[in-house]
Structure formats: structure tokens, C-alpha cells
Structure 1
Amino acid sequence: MSTGFFVTGTDTGVGKTRVSTGLIAALRGQGLRVAGMKPVASGCAATARGLRNADALALMAASGLDAPYGRINPYAFAPAIAPHLAAAEVGVSIRFDAIARAFGELVTEADCAVVEGVGGWRVPLGPDGDVADLAMHLKLPVVLVVGLRLGCLNHAALTAADIRRCGLPLAGWVGNAADAEVERSADIVGALRGILPEPCLGVLPHAPDATLDKVARSLHIRSLFPAAARA
């Protein structure tokens, strides 16, 4: 098995954390030790221990590993703005080698890691590149989260095409009804199955209160293992 998966989305707010935590729980259900990682996060809250991001904390809780917060989320920024802008405001450069070091330390404590990106696939991060460049730096198979909404067919097709162009395995995709009202959702999912030849790992209904176990049970992770083995 590879050292993990990189979870990206067709846009921001499409449910990457929901899928990432569910994926962690599903992999743990297979007897694996799984680390969660959110390398870059903006919109963090000030606490007595420093800046903390809700997505990163959710990944930590799902993994159950006792790892330092800074290893899970090496770059945390307070403003809820594009991460390269948030980093520039505080005079920080987001460097991929630092993220790779933290990732390497995490996977020594686990069988694999689930790494959640920030925003969409081509969100800029800094001098080392964007989210896609980070995934390439970590050399991880990609799981694509598609927010089921108007426009998602175009977003999914473009994102998947660029993932393939980057030379990374697209291990599979998950449809997530992030919005309460989704017209013709079954037709959208059917169209996605035609557009994306990679495995559908699950279709999640709009259920903000769904338990982690329920999300995990809705994901079909069997196809991830051969995809990981090829990476």
C-alpha cells in the first residue's frame, strides 16, 4: 500500500473534510493505523495553544493518533482568505519540504496518511506552487470530492483531467451533496459516472449531522487498495 491519499475537491466547501474523516474511519476499520493531515489551513481560531483549525482537529480526532498539532497542520493562518495571501500577511512562505518532513514523521507512526488539501486543486500556496504541486511533491494518489451542485460536471471534468495530466493516479471520486437543495442529483451522479472513468467511492447525501461511522460505511474503499499499490 502507498503511504496515503491526497484528498482534493472541485471547489472550496464541497466536503473534503467530511470525506477525509470518513476515509480515515473506513481505513481504520480495515485494521490500519491512519494519520490525518491538513498541511495548510486558513480561517484558524486563536487558542491558548496557538492557532487551531477545525478541519485539522476533525482529522486528528478521526485518526486517534497522539501526534503534535504542528505535525498535522504545519501552516495555520487566522484570516479566512486564500492561504498564499494569509501567509504573505504574516511574512511566511509555505514550503513543501517542511510539509514533506511533517508528512514523513506522521507516516512513521501510521500505516498511511490521509492528506486534505485546501480549497480546490489549483489554489496557489506560495513560491513552491499550488495544491496540485504539493500533491505531486508528496507523490500521493488523489481522491476527488465533487460537490453535487450546478456546474459540478464541468468542475469535475477539468479537475480530473488536470490530475491525470500531473501524472498522479486518480484513485477515485466521491459525490457529496454539500448543499441542502440539489436538483436532479441522481442525473448529476449518472453524468459524473460517464465523465469520470475512475471508481466512484461513494455518494453522500446532504446530512450534516451524519456520524463518522455512517459516512465511513457509505464509502467503498476496496478499489483504493489496488490504486495505492500502483502508486
Structure 2
Amino acid sequence: MSSEIIGAGRIMMEKKLHGKVALVTGAGGLIGRDTVRRLAEAGAGVAAADIVISDELNGLVREIAAGGGKAVVEKLDITDSREAASVFQDVERRLGPVDILVNNAGVVRGKSEAFHRTAEEYWKRLIEVNLFGTMICTRQALGGMIARRYGRIINIASIAGVSGLPGWADYAASKGGVIMFSETVAMEVGKYGITVNCISPGMIGGEAKPCEGTWLGRTGTASDISNMVVYLASPEADFITGSNYMVDGGRVIGPKNASWNE
């Protein structure tokens, strides 16, 4: 097989989202920025939304545009339904109607604390952002998706929402809610050609590091998550909905026994 054919195949694969428009919330964070980059590489026009617009995010959008891609920045507080409506309208004006929604925005407390000592305001804030914010953006996206009978909604949850996490009950509850919310909405909108799926990351950092806590022996990276986002947004995942993909190196299936040897 010639290198020309291989190269052409790679280009076609990379542009599998050509003509689609994606909106990514929490785009300024580690996972968010990588997701914006990967979706743009796959050919989508991307709206990078966050409550605070950093120089780094602006730089990424300029980089995508310089490379021939389409990307815009949107300031968005996902807990404000009116602001969300305005942002979706602006994205449609600038790029087109949203085909792919990645609910990535989320918050977590700065340190662990036992449930009975955790202040109520933390609970309210985490539920408001992680769960209610996901609901607001999903509802906003669904109107157009239902009318067009097409849509891909990808919610970033956490393995804490699957197996719990001592010291982080509020966070685990909010992410567990996202998972159940996603399953339920998937049941409701499947008849319109819309899929709804979750990704539950484990330990994610800027680069992979050795880690005895996962069966694959390393921590995850932002690209581990963004690659799954692109897959779930692509035609290859057309028959997948209501699923929760745990991208965690096997951490959630059980503790790794360091004394076990084959």
C-alpha cells in the first residue's frame, strides 16, 4: 500500500466530524482544552465556552483558526439558563447549530472532608454546577437537536460517581447524578436520533505518570478523555447511547494487589 493512500486514509479519519458544530463547556481546563483541540482536528467547528476566558484558551482558538479550523470563544456561566440560551444562539450565528454538546464544566472542593463536617454551601455549589449546569446546557441543546433529529451529548462525570469517594460525598453525589441523568435522557431522546453518553475519568494529569493504583500502571492524560469524546461524537458510535465509559486504567474494577504475580 502506498504512503499516499495511507495518508489519505488518515486525513479522512481525522476529519470524521467535518461539517459538525460542537460546544464544549469548561473549555479552559486541562480536559476542556484538549477536547477543543481534538474536536477541531476531527473537522468540527468548536465553541470553547467557560466562565473565565484565559489567555491560554484564546491562544488555542487562534491556533486552530491559523491551522484552517473553525473555533470561537464564548463566556458562559452554565448555571445561568438565560446566559446559556444567549450563548447557544450566538454559537449558531457564528458557526451553526450545535450538533455535539460536551458538558465538561465542573467544580470540586479544594480538600477532602468527612460528610458530616462538610458545609451545606459546598453541597449546593457542587450540585448547582456539576448537575444543574449539565441539565441547563443539555436542555438548551435538545430543542435544536430534536428538530434536526440528530445530536450527540457527552457528559463528563467521574469514577467517584460510580464507586464513591470517601471525603468527597458532595462531588460523588453530583457526578452520580450526572450519570443517572444521562441514562434517563438517553431513553427519552433516542427516538430523535440523539445519543447521550457519559465519560467517567479516573486520575487525570498533564502527563502520564507511574501509578500503582491502576491496573495499567499509570495515571491518565487529557488526551485519554478527549479521544473518547471524539469517538462518541463520531459516526462509529452511532449505536451507542446511555453508556458510561470509565476511562480510569481499570481503577474502578477493584484495587490492584501489588503482591499478585502471574
Length-normalised TM-score, structure 1: 0.48
Bigger RCO (CA 8 Å, 6+ sep)? 1
Decide which structure has greater strand share: 1
Structure exhibiting the larger radius of gyration computed from Cα positions: 2
Structure having the higher helix fraction is 2
